[in-house]
Structure formats: C-alpha cells, structure tokens
Structure 1
C-alpha cells in the first residue's frame, strides 16, 4: 500500500518542494475529512484518493491535479463544500474537484437518462478544464484495480460502463497505457472465464515464441548498429482485450493472431525514424499496402509513429512500429504528457495531442448545445468515439481526419456547419460522386454548395460523425418549428376570420389564460402545436374569439366546407409540415382539401379522394384549400394504362412521356387482362395542364387502349 511519504519521494523527480508540501497538505485535509469512512475492502477511505494521486504522479501531472485527486470525493462524501476547498486550496483545485464530483454516479446500464445527463456534465467540466477527465480516469482506474471487493452484479455493471465510455475516452485522448489497463481489468470482470482462457493461452504461447522473438530482436538491432542508427528494439505484447476483440471481429483463431510478431523501435529524431524504416525494409521484405505514416499525418488523438508489416524468416509476419522517445511518451500518456501542466520541457508531439483533445472537447460542446436532449447527445458522442480514421484532403491541401465510413456530407460538416447545411453535391478526386459514397484515405474532396440549399432528412441514413448528425437534426428541428408556426398562424387566422378578427386582435388576458392552461410558454408554441396537428385551430379560435361576437350568428357557426367563405391558400413547394397524400397524388389545378394529422401537420388530398370522404364535412379535421401561384415545382402522379402486348412497348411509353416534357420515375408491367396488359406509371408533372399533355401523348400510341389517373 502506497503512503504519502512514498508519494512525496516520487514527486521530487519533477515538482518543487513548495508544490510537494501543498500536495501533502491536501492529503492530510482529505484524511481528516474522510475520518471514520472505510472502503468495501475494509481499508481506510483515504487510501483511494492517495492511490488516484499516485496514478497521476506516474504521468507526471501538475501539483494542482494531484491536490484535486486527493480531494476528489470530499464534496460528495463529507460535509465540506466547494467554498471550503476554494478557501483552502484556490479556485483551480476547487473547480477540478467540483467537476469530478459531478461525475461520480454514472449508472450507464440501469438508468439511461441519468447516464446521459451525467455525460453532458462531464463534457461541460472537460471544456472548463481538461484535467477533470484525467483525474476521473485515474479514479476509475483505481476503482477497477480494487473491483474484487464489489458484488458480482455491480462488478459487471462497472466493467460494462468502463468498456463503453471510459476506455474509448482514454483512447480518444491518446492515453494508451491507461486505456489498455482499463480494458484488461474490465474484460476480466465482465468475461472472467474468457479472460482466464486467453491469459493461459498467451502465457503458453509466450514460452514457445521466446527464441524466435529474441532472434528477430537481435537481427533488427544488429542491422541498426551496422548502419550506425540509434534505436532500442523491444518485443511488443498484445493485451488480452485486443486479442479477444480481434478474435471476435475478424473471426480468427487464437493461433492466427499470435502468429504475428510485433516489435517497437524507439529512436532519437524524426529523421532517424525514416532511416530506421529503410534499414528494416532492407533486412526483411515489406508487405505491400501495409505501410502507414502516422508521423506525417498523426491520428486524431495525436498518436505519431511509422507502422510497417514485414515478411520475416520462416514465413513469419512481423509488425514494426518506429517512433521517437517523445512520440513514445505521447503514445503512452496522450494529453497527460502535455507540457502545459509540466514544469519542464516542451514537446511538439504533446502540444499537438493536447490541441487535438481540446478541439475534440470543443466539438462535443457544440454538439451538446445543438442536441435536443441528453439521450440524443450521448448517441452522437458514441458515434464519435471511433478508433479508426480516414484522412482526406480539401482542394487546398488541408488534411481532415474523419471516422471510417465517413461520407462527403460528414466532410462538409467537418469543414464548417454552414458548408454542410448548404451542400448539394461533391467531387471526389475531381469526379462527381454521390453524397453517400464512403470516403477513402488520400482522396481529395470538393463540396459544391448553393445558398438556398438545406439539409436533407435522408442524410441521417448514411452520415457517421456526431457533428454531422447533430447539425442536420438541429437544422431540421428548427426548420420544422418555423414551418409549423407559420402553418399554425395561417390556420388560426383562417378560423378567427369567421369571427371577424385575426390573431392580432386576440385579447391578451384570454391568450395568457389559454397558454397557462395548456402549459405553453408563448404564442409561438401554441401556433406550433396547431401547425403540427396536436391542437385544433377551430377549438382554439372558439376560445380566443371576441366577447362581442354573437354565439348564434352565422359567423360563429362551424366553418365547414358548406359554409366556408374562402379556402386557405397553400404554397406549391412541399414543406416539412405539409405533405401531399400518396393515395391520390394532388397536383396544382386539382380541387383540394386538407386533413390535419396529429404530429404530421397538414396532409393535402384531392377533394374526391375516397380516403378523405368520411371526414370531409368535419370542420375540426378538414378544411378547403386552394393553390397559390403556379411555381416551378414538379409533383408525382400515378397513371394506369391498358396496352396491347407488343415488342418495345415499354420504350414507346417512356418516349411518349419524355416527349411531353415529364420525368418518368417508375414503370411496372405484367398484370394480364385477356389480350391486354396493365401498365402502372409514376411520373412528375407541373400541373393538370401538363398532365393532360402527357395523357394525350400516351393515347396517341396505337397500342394504348385506356389511360386512368389514380
């Protein structure tokens, strides 16, 4: 068991004496605060914060982080407040402690809402000071090391939560050593039998492989010495959880994974890395397509290294990683290696890792602001914790890192939210490509935008980044709200007109009473409810009508189709809260009625549609509409034809539709009725005049006997 004296001795390596004394003072303060409290294992509670501080000291974290680690449970488990810690140890330490305290009860499996809310708090705390998450990760690591004292059910829950959230966050921040230990401990707790089996197999395989590993190490080291290149060669062990994941995801046997021998070469400079690469490629033949340069293009978490696969002697495959000492430290500790918190040195790799982490956290913060609720936010974040990236270029040569499977829409939102919102098409390597095409590393992507464009709901089916998903949903929700309010305003005005007034003439007291009763904050929210069909405009108009109106007068009677004086005009363009019924395909020129559907808004039907017949005379569900303006939008329409069987008939029909200036979407044939075949067409037209032209062209065909519109 570690003691404060042993920790103080270790801290002399990199902290000044006054800073060490402050850490000791925080320890004694925590010891007094937790006096009488014990852990599940029976040890005094203060052993836990001391162990958390020891984990952070191995990362050479600054004295404020160590003090916060000592005090991280004080606010949660004792009577001491934020103000008490701030008075004793300063605002920075108190803020870190407060940030960690908010994250103590993350129950990820049992209470989804609580999980999501607390995860939002974690992001906000990380945005204030990224050291909060480092202290939290160290806290989780010690809890995982001592998990055996917990009941089995709780062990599994904590292990699952560690694999789902904490381990991916450690990976995203580049803290590989901590990530590996968290994963192995969680794997051992969640799958104890599988963990024991793989551990025994690894120990057995290690004994059989020792001679081969030694030979390869000596061969590589000998070649480096011969070339006078600095470098230390070591064999690299695969950890248990990574072996298990590979066996599961790649469906490989244990022996296949262990047949690959992994080595790491740590050298002095970037120049030496590339010279070492040349030396090992001369020693063993490289595997084509298996070289990756993460030095020139670092991973999203700041990781830098050269990776190459080689054909070794006796048909053995060798994986080699080549990096500098500085890159090796960053690969192990990630942002914890950042010199911003150190009293010595200045590492370009560490600064790059820290800056990427800050950028990621800022991206999370933007997503959090756009998300509708905490559950939606955590869904976006989980999409963002991908371990694999693709690297693509902008036309000006800037490199962007995206998750594997990302599309041009993800790329557009990564450039800027406004670029994504106005994206209409793209070019990949100078050729036009679909917006849904997955990107490959090395491609140059150019996004084509127009000012009037807006996101398409179908994009949600293929985007993979959290930022793209949250930005699209945010835009569509705002757009839908705006359209719902406008439709609600028109509907309410329509019915208020029957009482000789409009929305502007509503009595404020009546409106306030109705809003309070409906538990709505403002008039816009009431109009949105009306536009979405959740509240009937006719009923609301009756509640808000002026007192002077005679209840028995003609104006006050329900404005059904028979008594309605003026139909409501609708725009041609289809909005998000105005839909055209697929049963009758209304087009400009048709007589139309509107059915207010709960949750969807206004659904437009032709007035002779059978599906609307039973409600046509119900003023609460249906209102008469008219088309406003011609517009240049196209509308779908369905036709049914009886044709005589003849070679090339489908081509003739398609040519007839095209000659009338219509766009053919779909054609189905094959239903036989005696000597005639039934053909179904779906096409786009501007209005009834255009449709008449199409039908005329079809009837001119000698083989067409009959044309009916559905």
Structure 2
C-alpha cells in the first residue's frame, strides 16, 4: 500500500503546483473515516481507496481526481456526508465523489433494480464529467484484483459477470485497453475457471516448448524493417487468454485450431512510417486476405488508432501484427485518461464521448431495470463496424446492426420515420445486416412509425429503447381510448349529470393526477365501475351487484330472433360474446351458426340464409378468444394468468401458436360476461410489461 508521502510525491512529480496540504488532508480523512474497517483480504479498508488513488497517479490525473479516488467510498461506507466532503475539499470533489458513490442503501429494490439504479446514477454523473468513469474503472480494477479473497462463490461470480458485461466494455469504449484486458482476465478466471486453467496451462506449455520463438520472430521483423531504413521498436506476446477463449467460442474450434496465438507490436516514429512498415512486412511475408484493418484513416469510436494485419510466418504459423506510433500506443492503452493529464486542463475530447449521448437517451427511455441493463450492455457493445450516409458521414455500429439501427444511430426521428432502406444503392429488407463500408440510405415517410416486429432484429440499445418507448405510448393511448368509451357508459348509468368539478373531484378521490390517467386506469381495469361511480357520485353504486359474486356456474346462452327449439352454435371463427352485434347463418340440414357482424368469414359469400339476431337478457356470458404475444422471460405466463384471475375470467383453452425469440404467442379461450368484460381483459394485458401485444381474435 502507498504511504502518505509516496502518494503526494507521485502527484508532485507530474504536477508541481498540486495542493500538497489538501492531498495530505484527504489521505488522513479516508484513513480516519474507514477506521478499523477490514476488507475480505484482512487488510485495512483504507488500503483500497489509497491503491485506487495510486492507479490514478499512474495516469497522471489532476489532484481533484486523486482526492476523489481517496474519498470515493467514504460517503457509502462511513458516516461521512457529501456536505462534509464539499466543506472540506470543495464542490468539484464533492460532485465527483457523489458520482462514484453507489446507491447501495436502497433496500427495497431487487438486485437487478439496485444494479440499474447504480448504473443510472453513474452514467448521468459520467456524462457530466468523465473523471467519474476513470475513478470507477480504477475502483473496479482493484476490487477485481482482490476478488479471490471473497468467500462466497456466488458473490464472486456476480461481481465478475457485472465486470465482464458493464465495466470491461466501458473501459474499451474509452480506449483503456490495459484496464479492459486485466478486468476480462480476472473475470474470466471466476466465470470459466476450467477454461481459464486449460488455456493458461496450454500457453505455458507452448512457452516452455518453443523457448524464445516470440523473441526470434520479433527480431526478424525488426531486422526487415531496419534494412528498409525504419527506426522501430518491436515487441511480441501471446494473445490474451480471454481473447483466445472468445475466438474458440465464436469459431467453434479447439485450442489446437487457433493459429494466430502470437501478436506483435511495431512502434514507429511517424504515422507515415506506419504505412511504410506495413509495405515492408507484406513484401517479406504473405498476408492473410481479409485480416487487414486500417484504424489510422478511420479510428475506432474510442480514438484507437493502429494498422492491423495478419501474416503467415515460417512453417505456416499465423501471427498478428499491430503498427502504430508511440503516441498512438499510449492513447490506445490508456485512451481517455491520456487526454486528462493535468497539463491538458481536463478538456474532454469530443470524438471519444459522442456515444455518451446515446446512453443518456437510453436512461430517459428505459422502462424498468431489466431494460436499462439490457440497453446499456447493447450500447457499449465491443465489436464495431463502419457504415456511411450517402453524404459520406461515418457511423460506427455493433456487428449485426441493420438499417434500422443505423437510422436510429443518425437520429431518433429518422429511425421512427423509416419505411425502407438502400444499401450501396440497392433496395434491401430492413432486417439486412450491415457490413464494413456499406453506404446506407434510409427511406422515410411522414406517416411511418416504429414497428414492434423491429425488436426481433435490431441490436443497438438506442434503437431498442426508442421502439419500446413508442410501442408503450401507442398502447397506452389505445387503452386510454377504450377507457374513455367505458367511462362514457359508466356516466350514462349515474343518477345525475356530472360536470368538470365532479370529474376533478373524482380524479382526486381515486388518487390519480389527470383525466388521461383516469381513462388509462379504467381501460386497463385498474379501477372498476363501482369505484368510478362512487368517486363521481358518492352512494351511486350501492345498489349494483357485487362483481366478485358473479355466478361461476355453467352460463346460459339465449338468442333473440330464433324459432324456439332451433339448434344454434356460436361460430369458432369469431367467438361472439354478449355485447357484439350478431347475425345467424342458416344452412339446409344444419343448425344456425351465430357470428359477430364484423366477422371476416361473412365476407366469403357463404350460401346461407341470414337471420337478424340479438342477445337475450338471460345470457350471462360466453367464450371469447384472444391472442397475446408475451416476452420470452421467466414469469410472463404467470403474469398473464394473474390478469385473467384478477378479472374473474375462466381459461377454457390455452395454446402456444408461435415461438419466435424473444416472443411467444398464445391463443386463449376465456369465459367472460360480455364484450366490456373481454375488452377490459385485453386492456389489462396491453398495460402489462409482460405482454408485447394483445388483441381479440
């Protein structure tokens, strides 16, 4: 652990003007506040913030960031407050500490919700000042280094998974590859211990068998480049164990089939020398087609710049070579942090943080914890492709992205208005996957709107969040419209006319805020007729029958307009229920078949006599059919069943008709009282987060 004077000397070495007294005060403050607290390793707890501060000094960050690193756990884990931090160390440090502090004291939230709230606050703070991210990444890296001391295997795996899914990709997105690789390696060891042991064991075996082969290849490269008059530095290493494992998983191959296990770095003096070195290497050794990437002319979104190529060396050995300047190498290893050196004044480089705008939009549009976590993981997806607008503007997207992802990446309004796409001048389906270099033209329409089916193929968090938000808004409007119709029916049954004052009072009595909320609550069956009537005119529902005592015995169905004794049946094609306008079709030798007036089967020109029918008052229910599209995740079917039970509807038949990940489609036959009862159930389904679509068949 760094001692107090060692930490101060490190900061003063690159920033002679740093406030030594404040640094000393922060060191003493964190030691005093954490007191006798211990880490799982048995070390004093304050050793952790001190080591995190040490990591920040390696990046030569300003004194406010160093102090933030020292204090980052005090508000969460001690009696310290943000107000106290602001009084002692100033508003800037207090703001940074608050950004890093997790919301771990929210006891009522589930694990996913708690993680989502932590992430929400973290991302918002990060968007205001990226030093929050740098401290958080160093905090997570040091925690991963000591993860093996935690006794609970379940807790170790949870932390490792969170690191792999969120923090390692975030490190990659700001170009901090050194942090990313170490986080991935430590998380990989916990998540896949057998694979980790196997791959590291094989690498050690290769190292012992082949002796100095890496050094020999590096020397050959350096000699070839020196003969061409280039002054370079060449180093070699084996590929990262996690990188090898990912390649094995993606290609479905064994370790023995991975040929490019070794990678070499060529450091040149200038960018022009990079291209010269590339030419020399390609002349000396055969390159592997399709493996060359030029990140000098088109840098990655995180600012990464380098030339990548793969060669066939002697004995058919494949090796990867990266060519860059020394300045590029530093930026590539430490990314955003390289721009935060004290002498730079802490200006955030615009080119590296544009993707934050997408994250902030996702925060505003995500509906719940699961969506926020899912969308954020998608937004920081690692593997990228490049695509262009017709005017040549460059956009980076995840592999597997489609024209819809591209459209939402350009602007949310463009994505919402998309109706078609051209790739390289040719019309293509919207689900077509883009490849590097595609020129994408989006065809739009004023009357277009996002489609639920797009969720089946979009891959970016921004697109998925925007589509879900639109679908929810549309369904809410539909439910509110149904609620308005039901409200009008309720008003007709009241003993007196109501005015605006009565409506406002009713909204208040029902603990709602607006008229639109009331209509949505009625349409989604969150309030029943009795409650609305009582809220509008107190005492008006006293004589109504109790809906909970609705008879559950076999329902009687009676139809007006039929000759007594004539056999009839309700049509399976439309499943009419009381409240539907109905007609009868009578064919020779058959009974009368009762259809809803808007049944599509009636348009087929059936040769039959038409009878004008209506429901008899004695009819107390019938079987209706609906279709529900559920999200494919645990508990959604149970949530649908709970909606049926809450609305006193008996399930007669349930059948899955389509399985199309991430959705499952069901057809359900329900015993219901009448059309209004069935409409309420459909509305309640549409209002549920478990249901993507619901409609009557």
Q: TM-score, normalised by structure 1?
A: 0.74
Deviation at 1:384, TM superposition (A): 2.1
**Residue 586 to residue 185, structure 1, CA distance change in 2 (3 Å):** farther
The answer (yes or no) to whether the contact 1:486–1:527 under 8 Å persists in 2 is: yes
Number of residue pairs the alignment of both structures matches: 584
1:301-340 equivalences in 2 (<5 Å): 301-339=302-340
Task: Determine if the alignment matches structure 1 residue 195 to structure 2 residue 187.
Answer: no
| Structure 2 Cα separation of the partners of residues 99 and 34 of structure 1 | 19
2:398 is matched with which residue?
403
1:277-356 equivalences in 2 (<5 Å): 277-339=278-340, 341-344=341-344, 354-356=349-351
- SS for the counterpart of 1:163 is helix
1:377 is matched with which residue?
372
| Structure 2 Cα separation of the partners of residues 240 and 375 of structure 1 | 30
Deviation at 1:207, TM superposition (A): 2.9
The answer (yes or no) to whether the contact 1:507–1:546 under 8 Å persists in 2 is: no
Task: Determine if the alignment matches structure 1 residue 215 to structure 2 residue 186.
Answer: no
The answer (yes or no) to whether the contact 1:380–1:465 under 8 Å persists in 2 is: yes
The answer (yes or no) to whether the contact 1:515–1:523 under 8 Å persists in 2 is: no
The answer (yes or no) to whether the contact 2:306–2:328 under 8 Å persists in 1 is: yes
Give the gaps of 5 or more residues in structure 1.
553-559, 570-579, 602-610, 624-709
The answer (yes or no) to whether the contact 1:615–1:622 under 8 Å persists in 2 is: no
Give the gaps of 5 or more residues in structure 2.
545-557, 561-578, 582-595, 616-621, 627-639, 648-667, 681-696
The C-alpha deviation readout for 1:92-148, integer Å capped at 9, x for no partner, is 1111112222266899x9822211222212212212322112111111211222223
**Residue 429 to residue 344, structure 1, CA distance change in 2 (3 Å):** closer
Deviation at 1:316, TM superposition (A): 1.5
1:62-461 equivalences in 2 (<5 Å): 62-102=62-102, 111-153=111-153, 154-257=155-258, 260-339=261-340, 341-344=341-344, 354-461=349-456
**Residue 587 to residue 28, structure 1, CA distance change in 2 (3 Å):** farther
Over aligned residues, Cα RMSD in angstroms? 3.8
The answer (yes or no) to whether the contact 1:307–1:320 under 8 Å persists in 2 is: yes
- SS for the counterpart of 2:300 is coil
Task: Determine if the alignment matches structure 1 residue 530 to structure 2 residue 522.
Answer: yes
- SS for the counterpart of 2:438 is coil
1:475-514 equivalences in 2 (<5 Å): 475-497=470-492, 504=499, 507-508=502-503, 511-512=506-507, 514=509
Deviation at 1:298, TM superposition (A): 1.5
Deviation at 1:192, TM superposition (A): 3.9
Deviation at 1:380, TM superposition (A): 0.9
**Residue 5 to residue 550, structure 1, CA distance change in 2 (3 Å):** closer
Task: Determine if the alignment matches structure 1 residue 47 to structure 2 residue 69.
Answer: no
The C-alpha deviation readout for 1:375-402, integer Å capped at 9, x for no partner, is 2111111222321111111010001101
- SS for the counterpart of 2:397 is strand
| Structure 2 Cα separation of the partners of residues 278 and 7 of structure 1 | 46
Deviation at 1:551, TM superposition (A): 8.3
The answer (yes or no) to whether the contact 1:103–1:122 under 8 Å persists in 2 is: no
- SS for the counterpart of 1:13 is helix
The C-alpha deviation readout for 1:521-544, integer Å capped at 9, x for no partner, is 332112113334555568745763
The farther-off stretch of 383-392 and 5-14 is 5-14
**Residue 88 to residue 509, structure 1, CA distance change in 2 (3 Å):** closer
**Residue 502 to residue 465, structure 1, CA distance change in 2 (3 Å):** farther
| Structure 2 Cα separation of the partners of residues 172 and 26 of structure 1 | 30
Deviation at 1:473, TM superposition (A): 0.9
1:469 is matched with which residue?
464
**Residue 129 to residue 588, structure 1, CA distance change in 2 (3 Å):** farther
| Structure 1 Cα separation of the partners of residues 491 and 523 of structure 2 | 15
| Structure 2 Cα separation of the partners of residues 106 and 213 of structure 1 | 52
Deviation at 1:186, TM superposition (A): 2.2
The answer (yes or no) to whether the contact 1:37–1:45 under 8 Å persists in 2 is: yes
The C-alpha deviation readout for 1:205-251, integer Å capped at 9, x for no partner, is 12333443333222221222222223211113312222222233323
Q: TM-score, normalised by structure 2?
A: 0.75
The C-alpha deviation readout for 1:10-30, integer Å capped at 9, x for no partner, is 334311243444323311222
| Structure 2 Cα separation of the partners of residues 367 and 84 of structure 1 | 33
